[in-house]
């Protein structure tokens, strides 16, 4: 692979290396179907493979992408060029193969409109299989929403407990866990509400991780940025978002964690890049953890639009992907500017 990934610490550090971030290509069959429908492309296994192949085979993508999160189906698929299994194909290019292992968010019994993520049943065996197939890290997402009454302490602790159980199993099976507690930004709440909830969730998550013996040096955190609700009237600007997010992380994330790979969470491509860039300019290397990205839609959307499901558009789609990947890579070092758009 060209990278020395003998230990989980080395894998975690390589995942959040400066100048690079993680490509989230782990949409479930249903979610990728919605994306393909946007470009009038049928949701078949062949089309899903063709689309993922376009992303993975972009020439030079490994300069900006450290690792790729895949869905179970994709992990079992192969490169269209030479039939190499994707785990081997990505590793040969210098990108670390990863796998989403949760089975989605479901209604939390005894609560009103809240979710808890499932997938712990049989997880130990699945992780063993994925590790054998070449995966080196995994991902589990918890979903928490902000309303007048939510989130409840019950919802936060149930999700934090599951995240920690998942993370402990990953490390036991020689995989780096990406721990993803996502506070959704749908709604009209302000940035202060977002801060309070994010702080409580991260405190609870790290308490559970500690309680269950998870090694902080061998994990990556994938949190939301602290934003105003998308339906809010007076939304916080780039500087305010960067400042609030950094303050929240400084209060909650242990220095032992090697890196933070933000999710984009429905932000526009440009906003996701600008917010990450501003945070890195503010800290100027003076934070214990690397601040990176693990984006799905905010990396892929321009490529998807350029592709339109047609083989003749693959080159243009890959150029669009490379541009976004490069701009986000620059943002991890605070070297992006909006003129580059």
Domains of the chain and CATH, by start? 8-340 (3.20.20.70)
pLDDT in tens, 198-218: 999 999 999 999 999 999 999
Residues in a beta bridge with 260: 221, 291
pTM of the model: 0.97
Task: Residue 327: name the closest of 319, 337, 317 by CA.
Answer: 337
pLDDT, tens digit, 9 for 90 and up, residues 218-264:
999 999 999 999 998 889 999 999 999 999 999 999 999 999 999 99
In sequence order, what are the beta bridge partners of 25? 70
Active site residue 199: no
Q: What pLDDT does residue 252 have?
A: 98
pLDDT score at 37: 97
On the CB side of 324, how many CA atoms lie within 13 Å of its CA? 28
Phi, psi angle pair for 67, to nearest 5°: -155, 165
Return the bridge partners of 205, or none: none
**Would the CA dihedral through 150, 153, 154, 157 be positive or negative?**
positive
What pLDDT, on the 0 to 100 scale, is given for residue 233? 85
Rounded mean pLDDT, 124-148: 97
The Cα-based distances of 75 to 10, 56, 90, 135 in angstroms read: 22, 12, 11, 8
Strands 176-183 and 220-221, how do they pair? Answer: parallel
> What pLDDT digit, counting tens, does each position of 292-306 carry?
999 999 999 999 999
pLDDT, mean of residues 146-169: 97
N-to-C CA span, the chain: 32
Summarize pLDDT for 49-89 with one digit per residue, the tens.
999 999 999 999 999 999 999 999 999 999 999 999 999 99
How do 21-25 and 105-107 pair as beta strands? unpaired
Structure tokens at 83: 């039939």
Q: How buried is 83 (Cβ within 10 angstroms: 0-12 exposed, 13-18 middle, 19+ buried)?
A: exposed
pLDDT at residue 2 is higher than 60:
no
Instruction: Assess contact for 164 and 205: CB atoms under 8 A.
Output: yes
Q: Establish whether 323 is a catalytic residue.
A: no
What mean pLDDT comes out for the span 91-120?
Answer: 97
pLDDT higher at 253 or 286: 253
Copy the structure tokens of residue 129.
Answer: 């299989």
pLDDT level of residue 324 (50, 70, 90 thresholds): very high
For residue range 7-22, what is the model confidence (pLDDT) as tens digits?
999 999 999 999 999 9
What is the chain's mean pLDDT, rounded? Answer: 96
> Do residues 137 and 175 lie in contact, with contact meaning Cβ atoms separated by under 8 Å?
yes
pLDDT at 285: 82
Catalytic residue among 27, 180, 182, 208: 180
Q: What is the mean predicted confidence (pLDDT) over 284-288?
A: 89
pLDDT of residue 284: 87
State the pLDDT confidence band at 1, using cuts at 50, 70 and 90. Answer: very low
């Amino acid at each position: 692979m060209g990278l020395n990934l003998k230990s989980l610490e080395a894998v975690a550090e390589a995942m959040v290396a400066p100048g690079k971030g993680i490509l989230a290509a782990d949409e479930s069959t249903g979610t990728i179907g919605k994306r393909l429908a946007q470009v009038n492309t049928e949701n078949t296994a062949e089309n899903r493979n063709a689309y993922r192949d376009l992303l993975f085979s972009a020439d030079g993508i490994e300069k900006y992408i450290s690792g790729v999160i895949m869905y179970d189906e994709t992990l079992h698929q192969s490169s269209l060029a030479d039939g190499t299994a994707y785990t081997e194909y990505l590793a040969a290019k210098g990108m670390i193969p990863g796998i989403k292992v949760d089975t989605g968010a479901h209604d939390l019994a005894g609560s009103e409109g809240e979710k808890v993520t499932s997938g712990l049943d049989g997880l130990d065996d699945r992780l063993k299989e994925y590790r054998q197939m070449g995966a080196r890290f995994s991902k589990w997402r918890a979903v928490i929403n902000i309303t007048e009454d939510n989130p409840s302490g019950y919802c936060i602790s149930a999700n934090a407990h599951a995240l920690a159980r998942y993370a402990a199993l990953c490390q036991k099976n020689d995989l780096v866990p990406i721990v993803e507690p996502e506070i959704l930004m749908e709604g009209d709440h302000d940035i202060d509400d977002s801060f309070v909830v994010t702080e409580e969730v991260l405190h609870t998550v790290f308490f559970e991780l500690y309680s269950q013996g998870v090694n902080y040096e061998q994990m990556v955190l994938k949190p939301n940025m602290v934003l105003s609700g998308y339906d809010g009237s007076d939304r916080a600007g780039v500087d305010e978002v960067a400042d609030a997010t950094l303050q929240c992380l400084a209060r909650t994330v242990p220095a032992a964690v090697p890196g933070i790979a933000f999710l984009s969470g429905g932000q526009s491509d440009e906003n996701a890049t600008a917010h990450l860039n501003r945070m890195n300019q503010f800290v100027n290397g003076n934070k214990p953890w690397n601040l990176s990205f693990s984006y799905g839609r905010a990396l892929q959307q321009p490529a998807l639009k350029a592709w339109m499901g047609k083989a003749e558009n693959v080159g243009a789609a890959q150029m669009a992907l490379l541009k976004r990947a490069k701009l986000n890579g620059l943002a991890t070092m605070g070297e992006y500017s909006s003129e580059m758009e």
